Every structure is written in structure tokens, then in C-alpha cells.
């Protein structure tokens, strides 16, 4: 099965909370591209990984595979967490073909964890997927609840507050650089002040003048309405990302931005027939990058 990647449609970091996390607002979109993951019943936890031969930074995955320290593997952590909820879980054999890069802002680890949670608790040991369950799973990774819901959502809190937000389907191109960005460094760069955490359900941030173009799929207005707070840090650290964004727009993409804390960028188009030509130009101009066409789900 596909363990899908996500992209951020805007990402605003509001402040640093007293618990050390950051309060954020964003829209998360699933795309129809990601890792391949398969599960089988087993007496023990067994993890096997295969790296897409075309993917940059293959070495990133060695440290979390069975050839490295398995305790760092988010799937192993998820397995242990699942057993605290259901001690009857014996084991699982996981086969993962990795395509989503680390340090790319695409949520690959959280997506993998969510698929394992579904494997354990949707049929084998059914549990209600309610707010309490999502809060428990957010301890594995802040994006895990989103991948469990599996639908485009407005996101608040540290990622655990979700409201499904139905948008038109978009077509686009994902640009994966041959380098990643450390999430911790990206947050430090924002220098957001420590602030008392505001406990409130009123976290939705889309005014009508922003929501309407999104619902209409009016890509021409997106640049003036939404932004990613991490993008200035990423483009300063890696100036080639600024060149990439400029080229994606010049080649015909209608909206281009960075996903998450980087380093991946993506572009959306109104006319998907433009994608093959844009893809060809990008591959010729940025040979070290990998480009993937996608549709939002």
C-alpha cells in the first residue's frame, strides 16, 4: 500500500509554547505519491527496508533501518506504543520501500507510523479513532493524527487540532533537493518568543477572503494570501532553492512554495497538461534534484 506524503499549503508558526513545542497554523494536503509499505503478522518485530534507487540521500535511511539503531526507528517506537494499548499484539513484519526523503518537510515518518497504527487497530484490535486516540498518537509524531484521518485538513496546535477542509484536487510537481534541512535548526531560526500556551478551540485562521480563493482553486491569488514562515531560512541556507522557485514559476507553474520546514518545494498548476513540459525543463536545469508529478487527494 502507499504511505502518502503530505504538503503544506501555508505554514505559520505563532509562538513557542511552555512545553517546548511551537503553536502552528497550516493546511495539510495528502498527495498520491509516497512510500510503499507492507505488513505481515509475525511473532516478533521485523523491519526490512528498500531504498528507491533514484532517491537522493540514501544514507539518511541507514541510521533508522535494521542496519542501524532500531530504537530510533519511528515504526519500532509505534509498535511499542501500540503494545501499551493492546498487550495482545505479538509482532509484525514490515517491508518498506522508501521514497519520501528525511528532512524534506513531507511527513514520511509520521505517514509510515499512521499506516502501522491502522494495521493494528482498524481490523485486528478495533479501537475508536476519536480525539483521545489522536492525542495519544500525537506523542509518536505531531503529524500522525492527520495521516490517520487521511483527508485535507486545517491544522492547529502542534499539529493535533484538525478540521477536515475539502478543497479541489490540484495537480503539481514536487521538487526534492539532494539535501535536507534539520527541523530543529529551522525552528530555532524563527526566534519565536516563549509564550503562555493558550488553550482554545478557536484556532481556525482562514478569513473569508482567504478561504474563498482556496475553495475555488484560484491559484493566481495563493501567493498573496498564504506563506511558509520557514522559507526565508531555507532559501538563505541554500540559495539554489530561490533559483528553483523562480524557475518553477518561469516554466509555467501557477503557485510555488516550500513544504513544512523544508527542504522540498512544490508547484501547482491549473492546467495539468503543462506538467510534462515543465518537468522536462526542471530536470534539465536542476539535474541534482528529483522531480515527481502528483495529484492531491
Q: For the chain, list the domains and their CATH numbers.
A: 2-164 (3.30.230.10), 171-295 (3.30.70.890)
**Alpha-carbon dihedral angle through residues 59, 256, 297, 208, given to the nearest 10 degrees:** 140
> Which pLDDT does position 195 carry in this prediction?
62
Can 90 be counted among the known catalytic residues?
Answer: no
Place of cell 540521500: 57
Q: What is the arithmetic mean of pLDDT over 178-194? A: 85
- Active-site residue (options: 6, 25, 98, 161): 6
Q: 254 pLDDT band (50/70/90 cuts)?
A: very high
Residues in the chain, overall count: 297
pLDDT value at 137 more than 50: yes
Confidence of residue 206 (pLDDT cuts 50, 70, 90): low
pLDDT at 102: 84
Cα Rg of the chain, angstroms: 19
**Which among 24, 15, 12 is positioned nearest to 195, based on CA atoms?**
15
Q: Which residues contact 212 (CB under 8 A, 6 or more apart)?
A: 218
- Mean pLDDT, the chain, whole residue set: 88
Please report, for residues 78, 89, 213, 242, the alpha-carbon distance to residue 66 in angstroms, rounded to integers and kept in the order given: 15, 21, 46, 37
Active-site entry in 81, 98, 143, 245: 143
| Known active-site residue 6 | yes
- pLDDT score, position 65: 54
pLDDT of residue 158: 82
> Is 167 strand, coil or helix?
coil
- The answer on pLDDT for 62 being more than 70 is no
- Residue 84, pLDDT > 80, answer yes
Residue 247 has pLDDT above 60, yes or no: yes
Instruction: Supply the pTM of this predicted model.
Output: 0.91
Give the whole-number percent of the chain exceeding pLDDT 70: 90
- C-alpha to C-alpha distances, 189 to 104, 183, 184, 213, 260, nearest whole angstrom: 17, 10, 9, 31, 14
Burial class, 152, CB count within 10 angstroms (exposed 0-12 / middle 13-18 / buried 19+): buried
For residue 230, pLDDT over 50 is answered with: yes
pLDDT the model gives residue 203: 38
Amino acid at each position: 500500500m502507499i504511505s502518502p506524503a503530505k504538503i503544506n499549503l501555508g505554514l505559520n508558526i505563532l509562538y513557542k509554547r511552555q512545553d517546548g513545542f511551537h503553536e502552528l497554523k497550516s493546511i495539510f494536503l495528502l498527495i498520491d505519491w509516497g512510500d510503499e509499505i507492507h505488513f505481515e503478522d509475525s511473532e516478533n518485530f521485523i523491519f526490512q527496508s528498500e531504498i528507491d534507487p533514484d532517491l537522493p540521500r540514501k544514507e539518511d535511511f541507514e541510521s533508522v533501518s535494521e542496519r542501524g539503531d532500531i530504537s530510533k526507528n519511528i515504526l519500532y517506537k509505534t509498535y511499542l506504543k501500540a503494545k501499551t494499548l493492546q498487550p495482545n499484539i505479538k509482532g509484525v513484519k514490515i517491508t518498506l520501500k522508501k521514497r519520501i526523503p528525511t528532512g524534506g518537510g513531507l511527513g514520511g515518518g509520521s505517514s509510515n507510523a499512521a499506516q502501522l497504527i491502522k494495521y493494528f487497530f482498524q481490523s485486528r484490535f478495533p479501537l475508536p479513532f476519536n480525539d483521545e486516540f489522536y492525542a495519544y498518537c500525537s506523542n509518536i509524531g505531531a503529524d500522525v493524527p492527520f495521516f490517520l484521518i487521511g483527508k485535507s485538513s486545517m491544522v492547529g496546535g502542534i499539529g493535533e487540532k484538525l478540521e477536515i477542509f475539502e478543497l479541489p484536487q490540484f495537480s503539481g510537481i514536487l521538487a526534492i533537493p539532494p539535501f535536507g534541512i534539520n527541523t530543529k535548526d529551522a525552528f530555532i531560526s524563527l526566534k519565536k518568543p516563549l509564550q503562555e500556551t493558550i488553550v482554545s478551540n478557536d484556532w481556525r485562521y482562514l478569513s473569508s477572503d482567504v478561504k474563498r480563493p482556496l475553495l475555488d482553486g484560484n491559484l493566481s491569488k495563493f501567493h498573496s494570501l498564504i506563506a511558509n514562515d520557514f522559507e526565508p531560512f531555507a532559501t538563505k541556507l541554500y540559495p539554489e532553492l530561490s533559483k528553483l522557485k523562480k524557475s518553477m514559476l518561469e516554466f509555467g507553474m501557477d503557485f510555488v512554495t516550500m513544504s513544512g520546514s523544508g527542504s522540498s518545494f512544490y508547484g501547482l498548476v491549473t492546467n495539468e497538461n503543462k506538467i510534462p513540459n515543465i518537468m522536462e525543463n526542471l530536470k534539465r536545469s536542476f539535474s541534482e534534484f528529483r522531480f515527481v508529478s502528483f495529484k492531491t487527494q
